[in-house]
Structures are given as C-alpha cells and as structure tokens.
Amino acid sequence: MPPKFDPTAITYVYLKVVGGEVGATSSLAPKIGPLGLSPKKVGDDIAKNTQAWKGLRITVELKIQNRQATVSVVPSAPALIIKALKEPPRDRKKVKNIAHSGNITIDDIIDIARQMRARSGARYLSGTCKEILGTAQSIGCTVDGQPPHDIIDSINSGDIEIPEE
C-alpha cells in the first residue's frame, strides 16, 4: 500500500495552458488527480486567473496544499512580448500562423527583462535585454522601428545604455 498522503505538504505543478480557456480536463487529471483535486474545478480556476492572457500560451504554477490549489501565472518572454504588442486576442481555432509584425519600445524590452531577470541566465540586465531582443526577433516584431538584432549590436557597442537593475 502507498504511504499516507501528507496534507500539509506543498506540491507545485507546472502546466502550459492557453490563457482564458478551460483546458482539457483529461490532460489535468493524471497530474492532479492523485493529489485529491477535481480536474474540472482546477481547470475553471486556471481559466479565471488567466483572463488577462487571453489567447496566449502561458505557463501556470499550481501550488497545492491541504487539497487546495492556488493558481499563479509564470509568464514567458514570448508571452510578455506579444502582450506588449497589444494585439487583439485571436481565436486559436480560426486564425493560424499569425505574424506579430508590431513595434515595441526599448522601455518595454527593459520592463520585460526586469520581469524575466530571475529566470535569466545572464549576469547583467543588459544580457537579459539581449535575450528578450532575441526572442522579439524570432517572434518577428521590431523595436523602436528597427530590427531587434540592430539594437543588440548597439547594446554591444555601447550606443544604447541599459541601466543596471
């Protein structure tokens, strides 16, 4: 027989979901079913807490304690960049292969880099900004009307100053 479940233990479950939508409970059930939670109820909680990220794929952290799940959003760099582009929410089932051809400012990039700082591999904020600019390049948007790689080159040469922290 398996060991008795400890109700005071805190368990973290990370899921990739589409913001604002109730995900398939069949994908939730194997992850949270053994912890004594209802997948339908948790799915509704996820949908409620991700309304601000409607239509974007984001990572969600479930903190489970005493058979209660608290949902918190762990935003990724692409999700933050697409949110900064202020695009209207798209219908996943109808609109495919969307081109994110918008323009964001360098201040937006620095704000996103500050949010992602803890999960970055870079030593300084300028390195984190370069990581975000590389993501912006792969998404296909421009930064201050220029391709993101030109901004990376000007950060490397010292033309653009990134404040430390």
Which 3-state string (H, E, C) describes the chain?
Answer: CCCCCCCCCCEEEEEEEECCCCCCHHHHHHHHHHHCCCHHHHHHHHHHHCHHHCCCEEEEEEEEECCEEEEEEECCHHHHHHHHCCCCCCCCCCCCCCCCCCEECHHHHHHHHHHHHHHCCCCCHHHHHHHHHHHHHHHCCEECCECHHHHHHHHHHCCCCCCCC
pLDDT value of position 81: 80
pLDDT, tens digit only, all 165 positions of the chain: 566 666 677 888 888 888 777 777 777 787 777 777 878 888 888 888 888 777 778 888 888 887 788 888 888 878 788 777 776 666 666 666 566 677 788 787 888 888 877 777 777 777 888 888 888 888 878 887 888 788 888 887 777 777 776
Closest CA to 135 of 83, 87, 96: 83
pLDDT value of position 124: 79
